[in-house]
Each structure stands twice: as structure tokens, then as C-alpha cells.
Amino acid sequence: MTRGENRTTISGPAGALEVALNAPAPPPDEPLRGIALVAHPHPLQGGTLDNKVAQTLAKTFVALGYVGVRFNFRGAGKSEGVFDDGVGETDDALAALAFARSEFPALAATPPVLAGFSFGCFVQARVARIVTPQRMVLVGPAVKRFAVDAVPTDTIVIHGENDDVVALADVLAWARPQQLPIVVFPDCGHFFHGRLPQLQRVITGMWQR
């Protein structure tokens, strides 16, 4: 059960920044577990906070007791500004996180979950240099197109076997030096068409309460 979505624009680093919050309505004796910040795919290729994988990530964490926070990178949706190769987008993510913390002050000191899809994984790896995450979830990380940093050892990485945007071999090459396990969805493309319920189940099953 959720309280519904609160979508608004805030003052961001490049002007207006569109943010969507979804909060669970937990029982009185079960406090919120934290903030889950979700980053969408490449804005110049149609990526927005309404992307189905980004929505699935937020939905998954709301069901796990987190406040789900999605936002539009600069130049996408109602967010102002122009694409900045991930640098300005990192600032956008930090601004969205700061807003969520101001809306839920009891969670301000709790490390956030950082989740991303495709280009959003690159941005979240940059955010993790600045904000220590509770844990990370990366779906279809665009490791060939962007220099994605190493991530914590408990990061959940999920990739499609038949991803035609980011080859599985490239993700394995990125993960190998980190000895980072990869969850591979057989016969699955980049956008997880028809596999979103399974994506939610897998993340939920791997999450430690």
C-alpha cells in the first residue's frame, strides 16, 4: 500500500528539477527503512522518470518499506537545463536526494539506496563517491558507453543475456576485476520487456530485511 505519488518541481542545479516521491504506508510499529533514489536511462535517448524499469525499481523499494524517489535529469520532462555527460546529472541526483531528505527528516541520516538503469547506473556510481549508499542496485549498467566506477561488493547487478545496447560480455569485463556477481536474465533484452515482474521478484528476494 502506498500513499500515492507526489510529483513536483524543485529548484535544481540547472533550474527546475522534476521529482516524484512514492512513500509506503507502513504499520505504526514498522518505520520507514530509508530513501531509495532511482536514476533513469539516457535522457537524449528518451529516458525519463516514467521509464518502466525505473518505475519498477521504485515500486520494488516502496513495497520493501522505502520512500521511492525518481527524478528527471536536466532537459528531460519538466526539468530544465541541457545534458551534461553525467556530471551535471550527478548534481541533479544529489539535489533530488536532498529534497527527499527534507520531506522525510527522520530518514535524513540513513544512508540511501542508490538504484539505476542503464545511463542511470553511471550516474549512481558517481553519486556513491559522495554519498555512502546503504546498498546499490544496477540494472543494465551502461559500462561500455560510460566509465562506470567500481561499486560496493554487495551491489546487485542485473543484466539481460541478449542486451543489444550494452553487451553482457562488457558488463562481465567490468565486473571481473571487482569479483562482482552478475544476475543474468536469459533471453532478455536491454529494456526487460515482459520481465519486469520477474525483475521485481529477484530484487526483493535478494534484499536482506
- Residue 53's nearest CA partner among 166, 151, 131, 132 is 166
Q: Are strands 183-185 and 156-160 parallel, antiparallel or unpaired?
A: parallel
Q: Report the pLDDT value the prediction gives residue 129, as an integer from 0 to 100.
A: 98
Q: Does domain 2-206 have CATH number 3.40.50.1820?
A: yes
- Residue 122's nearest CA partner among 89, 155, 95, 98 is 89
d(CA 78, CA 104): 23
Portion of the chain with pLDDT greater than 90, in percent: 93
Q: Report the pLDDT value the prediction gives residue 1, as an integer from 0 to 100.
A: 39
Q: Report the pLDDT value the prediction gives residue 209, as an integer from 0 to 100.
A: 54
Mean pLDDT value of segment 139-158: 96
Q: Report the pLDDT value the prediction gives residue 43, as an integer from 0 to 100.
A: 97
pLDDT at 89 over 60: yes
d(CA 132, CA 34): 13
d(CA 76, CA 53): 16
The neighbour count for residue 186, using CB atoms within 10 Å, is 8
Q: How far is CA 10 from the centre of its chain?
A: 19
pLDDT at 161 over 60: yes
In the numeric block, the cell 529534497 is attached to 99
Q: Where does the pLDDT of residue 2 fall: very low under 50, low under 70, confident under 90, or very high at 90 and above?
A: very low
Q: Cell numbers of 131, please?
A: 554519498
Give me the residue spans of the domains in the chain.
2-206
Grouping H, G, I as helix, E, B as strand and the rest as coil, residue 139 is: strand
Q: Report the pLDDT value the prediction gives residue 29, as an integer from 0 to 100.
A: 72
Portion of the chain with pLDDT greater than 70, in percent: 96
Render pLDDT for 165-208 as a digit per residue (tens, 0 to 9): 999 999 999 999 999 999 999 999 999 999 999 999 999 999 96
Q: Report the pLDDT value the prediction gives residue 179, as an integer from 0 to 100.
A: 97
Render pLDDT for 22-52 as a digit per residue (tens, 0 to 9): 999 867 678 999 999 999 999 999 999 999 9
Q: Report the pLDDT value the prediction gives residue 26, as an integer from 0 to 100.
A: 67
